[in-house]
Amino acid sequence: MSKQRQNIDPEIAEWIGQQRIFFVASAPLSATGHINLSPKGGDSFRVLAPMEVAYQEYTGSGAETAAHLRENGRIIVVFCAFDGAPRILRLHGRGEAITAVHPRFAELASRFPPHSGTRSIVHIQVTRVSTSCGFAVPFFDFRAPRETLDEWSTKQGPEKIAAYQAAKNQFSIDGLPAFAP
């Protein structure tokens, strides 16, 4: 059974810091639009305050989360324990994809390791924190992070990354503006 928490307390924040993967889900307002669920990894998530979090978002083939946040702001972040005691954590909130032209980008980006593929920092004001048992979540062993995105974005360089984002990240699959001007 789910247990609502008042906020992200220090124990939960420490547990978040130990997780190797998290999931981000968002949806458009349209009943016919596509719901998006994306796995995220690396050293890319930070608890900023008891009801405020952010994650470093990398250049990718789609831009669904950014489009949904731009349209309606709704987002949920989910963590699952794949080792140790079973636990699922859900952080519901309102988010914004903060790009390099935003006044807060430098301050937020400074909280993460530099990454040549960084496209935005997704900043979330958390509105609900809840935990549940996770009894059905299987055990998985972490081997290593994948280096493919790091290698690709470094090889591309800033100009090719910008061109890729202009070609592939301007709109969602439903045609909603994501990183379009």
Domain spans, the chain: 3-168
Which amino acid, 121? I
Pair of tokens at residue 21: 């993967």
**pLDDT digits over 51-82, tens only?**
999 999 999 989 999 999 999 999 999 999 99
Mapped onto helix, strand or coil, the DSSP state of residue 166 is helix
Total-model pTM: 0.96
Pair of tokens at residue 166: 């202009």
Percent of the chain, pLDDT > 70? 99
- Using alpha carbons, list the distances in angstroms from residue 140 to 39, 84, 154: 15, 10, 30
Q: Supply the mean pLDDT for the chain.
A: 96
Kindly indicate the confidence band of residue 138, based on its pLDDT and cuts at 50, 70 and 90: very high
The pLDDT value recorded for residue 180 is 75
**DSSP designation for 35:** P
Give domain 3-168's CATH superfamily: Electron Transport, Fmn-binding Protein; Chain A (2.30.110.10)
For the chain, the farthest-separated pair of C-alpha atoms sits apart, in whole angstroms, at 49
Q: Are 81 and 105 in contact (CB under 8 A)?
A: no
Which amino acid, 29? L
The pLDDT value recorded for residue 50 is 98
What is the Cα 9 distance to its own chain's centre? 20
Q: In the Cβ-directed half-sphere of 138, how many Cα atoms lie within 13 Å? A: 3
Kindly indicate the confidence band of residue 2, based on its pLDDT and cuts at 50, 70 and 90: confident
For residue 1, is pLDDT > 80?
no
What is the Cα 36 distance to its own chain's centre? 12
**Angle at alpha carbon of residue 101, lines to 71 and 25, rounded to 5°:** 35
Q: What is the mean pLDDT of residues 92-121?
A: 96
